[in-house]
Structure 1
Amino acid sequence: MSPDQLSSPPYPDLAGMPPLATPGQRFAARLIDGLVLGVIWTVALGMTGALQYGMEHPGQQDLGKVMAALIITMGVYFAYEGTMLARSGQTLGKKAMRIRVAVLSDGNIPGRQGWVRAAVYTLPGLLIPVLVGTLFWVLNVVWQLWDKPFRRCLHDKAARTVVVSAVQ
């Protein structure tokens, strides 16, 4: 793709938009949201009885209960991320790091595109037991390190979003 093609719709030059968020800001925001995910996971393990089973049977797991907890966790996290991004473009982590998700074409809050972004980020987590989800998550988040010119992860590309500073 030529530079001219990148600056014409649907790939604007970001004129008028805040500066792009740095990979460090994005990583720190994901760490904070990872804490949210960890709380959801712990609650889901408790709700399904998987946590109790693990304490009563050290070194063993009830795979059915763990899978139920995983489905609950990914569903709740998808709802968290989708709702937050659709409404404000910011999860708790992004708010803390003062960054936000913006629609690439116009800089607006993502709305429906926030749900697309959340789905592409979250739902592969259901494949963690077969390692595919973990590999996708790693590839997804490091993609921004070589993506030019907008430093987008795969979930950004799918939703046609970009992450920018929330402070001007």
Structure 2
Amino acid sequence: MADTAKRILARVVDWLIVAIPLLIIGIPFGIYNRVTSGDGDFGDWVTDGNAGGWVFQVIAIIAFVGYDTLMVRKSGQTLGKKLMKMRVAMLNDGSTPDTGSSLTRAVVLWLPQLICCPCLWPLLLLIFILVDKPYKQGLHDKAAKTVVVSTAT
């Protein structure tokens, strides 16, 4: 099984790969207006009726879920996992996940974090990875019946 620290670093790399372009894309949607004005909390841009906030939220979900789904489906590796010499494999036979498994994994991985629980969800996933024996599966791995393995020899 892949090293937990490398998995975390790979996830940070993948997050940055998607988040940096989204930060730029968010400017026309006005997602920073509430933050820079000092009014309310950061999350208020979604709840205050700002249609641009909702559109941006959908774009962010599509970007994160799409990136993870397409990369894992293609080779079992996101760019972060490739850098850390890991890959996602099907638990039953070690093959590269199909589209359904890749999408399931990505939805469970990203959707709760992007909709409601940006701090709590990654922590919960990490706890599952740390306590799961013997495969170190997060909830996203369990849902998709996948495991993260090292490709280094």
Shorter chain as normaliser: what TM range?
0.7 to 0.9
- 1:79-94 matches, within 5 Å, as 79-94=66-81
Does residue 105 in structure 1 map to residue 86 in structure 2? no
SS in 2 for 1:50: coil
Aligned-partner residue type, residue 86 of structure 1? R
For structure 1, the residue ranges without an aligned partner over 5 or more in a row are 1-19
TM-score normalised over the length of structure 2:
0.84
Q: How many residues align?
A: 144
**Partner residue, 1:48:** 29
CA distance in 2, matches of 1:105, 1:139: 24
Aligned-partner residue type, residue 60 of structure 2? T
> Which among 106, 110, 121 is matched to residue 118 of structure 1?
106
Does residue 73 in structure 1 map to residue 60 in structure 2? yes
Misfit runs of 4+, over 4 Å:
none
**Partner residue, 1:162:** 147
Equivalent pair of 1:21/1:99 in contact (CA under 8 Å): yes
Alignment RMSD, CA only?
A: 1.9
How much identity, in percent, do the aligned residues show?
35
SS in 2 for 1:101: strand
SS in 2 for 1:100: strand
For structure 2, the residue ranges without an aligned partner over 5 or more in a row are none
1:107 Cα offset (Å): 0.4
Equivalent pair of 1:85/1:91 in contact (CA under 8 Å): yes
Q: Rg: which structure is higher?
A: 1
SS in 1 for 2:124: helix
Describe the superposition over 1:121-141 as per-residue Cα deviations: whole angstroms up to 9, x where unpaired: 11113423xxx3532232012
CA distance in 2, matches of 1:83, 1:149: 27
